[in-house]
Chains A and B, each alone.
Chain A
Amino acid sequence: MKNKNTLQKYNLPESIEFCKECTISNQRPRITFDENGVCSACNFAKHKQKNIDWKEREKELVLLLDKHRKNDGSYDVIVPVSGGKDGGFVAHMLKYKYGMNPLTVTWAPSIYTEIGRKNLDNFINIGGFDNILGSVNGKTHRKMARNSFLKMGDNFLPFIYGQTNFPLKMAVQHNISLVMYGENGEVEYGGDMTLANSPVKDMSHYNNIFFSDMSPEDWEREGISKSDIAPYLGPTKGEIEENNTEIHFFGYYHFWDPQECFYYCVKNTGFEVNDVRSEGTYSKYASLDDQTDWLHYFLAYIKFGIGRATSDTAHEVRDGKITREEGVMLVKKFDGELTKKYFEITLDYLNVTEEEFWEVVDSWRSPHLWEKDENLEWKLKCPIWIE
């Protein structure tokens, strides 16, 4: 299989550099580093911790909510949730603190984990929420996951379509003009900073950032029928405008701290942690829903040298939960760890043999990141612990 040119595809710098303050590297697409070698996410975290008047932001939130509030029994805000701590926090705050009437929407994972499904049920039943679970034709979803893995090196593309488009579609269908997300990932975790001081999600960025240049419509030429593609499509631009749809980030209005979302949801929505830590990282309270999601993180490790432990430690360092030194230790210990629990089930789901699997994976290893050691095992050329 031909080796992919990731440098070009993702516009990556050839020389690897790590942020002086957290554990992220300059290989994260779209991230920028300042003249002191500090990443945009760290600078934003400091800005967030020091310069923002959160009381003022709360006033802005109340004004926004009052503009969309209906008070007639119908839903007035869409909150995308998985059943996890972050969406759970946003939905619960909006409903029980600010008196909104949210319709929560969930885009189903490829294969639910037991804990993921339990947490969604707890969120609905203990937290007290109406929820629409978007479950698509599993055969189509599986085919798309397979093909996007083979062609784009990411099994998660069909999930991301739905994650992005389904809430919007529900907003239009239910005449709800406000969609409230949790944090703006680009700003919080490093990426495009143009919206750092904006509460609103910019629609024009959708295609080129989240969809790896392949939109749902493009699947027709891969043999997926129009009717099978339809569930993945968002509303048209005209429908979105006619509905006066606004997409906002709760993280703009309220100090965003995932750890505190966890405490809040244990108390209010019956959230439970997993039995053991997630493979590839040290945490047991984040991204618990999908048996195949490890591969999404693993492929980021292959393409960018940034696995789940790197992403987790980077934001925990910024949030002041751990030190950089602790973060480096955790990266060394867990990053890129291959799953034992879900390996077989995922390959079976994607309908690939182990040989095919590694052929695809290895085709995404860029020579600027990877080399083979004396035992012919792949290793990172420049890991953070030997900076």
Chain B
Amino acid sequence: MRNIRIIARLDIKAPNLVKGIQFEGLRKIGDPSKFALKYYLQGADEIFCADIVASLYERNSLLDIINSTTNNVFIPITVGGGIRSIKDVTSALNAGADKVSINTAAIKKPGLITEVAEKFGSQCMVLSIQAKYRNSGWEAYYDNGRESSGIDVIEWAKKGQDLGAGEILLTSVDREGTAKGMDIELIKAVTNVVTIPVIASGGIGNLNDIGLAVQEGCADAVSVAHVLHYEELTVNEIRQYCIEKNIPVRRLSVDGA
């Protein structure tokens, strides 16, 4: 079994790290660079940072965000929010990102997934899916969890993989920011139909939620925000918990990274 990755997630509305509940009521949390550094030093395996309102505001603050988060952080960084073209990907990678995450632009133009994967490799192309439960299944959302695309999440995940996505960041809009537990059924439903790694996101309120996402949901990574930002958990506590539960994780040397 591959190591399960613990990813610290930073949603950014430039110049601030923000956090909402179900993507609503974005609260300013602080300076993203300080939080990125803190989570790196706590032993996060990766950092995910996104301009969460890029599509909503039809802007692109990505380079500022990369500059403000990559300093002194020596773990893989995925950036997202407002990536609409190969040119955007190129500048994000040049600025220091290791991977890019795309949601809105991929929904509007699925071929972009293939273009990015062919030019930069699948490992670099993370398909971000905001999944909202409606009626009898999950629908893919965009614009910071505000707009429904009408696309079925399970179908979209399969299609994303076929088009060349190397990884899926799967966020439950219903659970995001609530700290009331993850949507395990959603995670299971997606991990069942794809072979590429799935990062589970949205709803972690305690250590047990992480165990469930990995052991029942078969997630390959967890993305953690609320409990880290509000200092309810540290990355190291999560790692220790995983070790106790026999969940394979990267072993760290004593000095952190």
Contact = CB atoms under 8 A, between A and B. Distances in A.
A276 B58 contact: no
Interface string B1-38: 00000000000010000000110111110000000000
A333 B25 contact: no
B239 interface: no
Among A259, A275, A330: residue with most chain B CB under 10 A? A275
A283 B56 CA distance: 11
A255 interface: no
A277 interface: yes
Contact of B26 (A272, A273, A321, A333): A321
A266 B27 CA distance: 14
B146 interface: yes
Contacts of A285: 24-25
Given A266-B178, A329-B58, A273 B22 contact: yes
B57 A275 contact: no
Interface in A314-351: 320-322, 326, 329-330, 333
B87 interface: no
Contacts of A273: 21-22, 24
Contacts of B57: 326, 329-330
B59 A277 contact: no
A276 B56 contact: no
Contacts of B22: 272-273, 284
B24 A262 contact: yes
A262 B132 contact: no
Given A275-B148, A276-B146, A263 B21 contact: yes
Interface string A63-105: 0000000000000000000000000000000000000000000
A263 B134 CA distance: 23
Contacts of B25: 259, 262-263, 285
Contact of A284 (B24, B27, B59): B24
A263 B178 CA distance: 10
Interface in A267-305: 272-273, 275-277, 282-285
B27 A263 contact: yes
A263 B230 CA distance: 13
B24 A276 contact: no
B137 to A, nearest CB: 14
Nearest to B22: A273
B118 interface: no
A284 B59 CA distance: 21
Contacts of B147: 276-277
A284 B58 contact: no
A259 to B, nearest CB: 5
Nearest to A258: B25
Nearest to B15: A323
A321 B28 CA distance: 8
Nearest to B21: A266
A322 B14 CA distance: 10
A277 B56 CA distance: 11
B171 to A, nearest CB: 15
A18 B148 CA distance: 33
Nearest to B147: A276
Interface in B220-255: none
A385 to B, nearest CB: 12
Contact of A275 (B53, B58, B134, B143): B134
B57 to A, nearest CB: 5
Contact of A259 (B27, B134, B148): B27
A333 B21 contact: no
Among A259, A277, A283, A333: residue with most chain B CB under 10 A? A277
A319 to B, nearest CB: 11
A113 to B, nearest CB: 15
B134 A282 contact: no
Interface in B39-90: 53, 56-59
A255 to B, nearest CB: 15
A285 B145 CA distance: 12
Contacts of A276: 146-148
Interface in A245-264: 259, 262-263
Given A263-B21, A263-B27, A326-B57, A275 B132 contact: yes
A283 B20 CA distance: 12
Interface in B127-175: 132, 134, 143, 146-148
A330 B13 CA distance: 14
Contacts of A320: 28
A297 B115 CA distance: 43
6 tightest CB-CB pairs across the interface, nearest first?
A277-B146, A262-B25, A259-B25, A273-B24, A285-B24, A329-B57
Interface of B: 13, 21-22, 24-28, 53, 56-59, 132, 134, 143, 146-148, 178
28 contacts: A262-B21, A262-B24, A262-B25, A263-B25, A263-B27, A266-B21, A272-B22, A273-B22, A275-B132, A275-B148, A276-B146, A277-B143, A277-B146, A277-B147, A282-B56, A282-B146, A283-B24, A284-B146, A285-B24, A285-B25, A320-B28, A322-B13, A326-B53, A326-B57, A329-B59, A330-B56, A333-B56, A333-B58
Given A262-B24, A275-B134, A282-B56, 12 more contacts: A259-B27, A263-B21, A266-B21, A272-B22, A276-B147, A277-B143, A284-B22, A320-B28, A326-B53, A329-B57, A329-B58, A333-B56
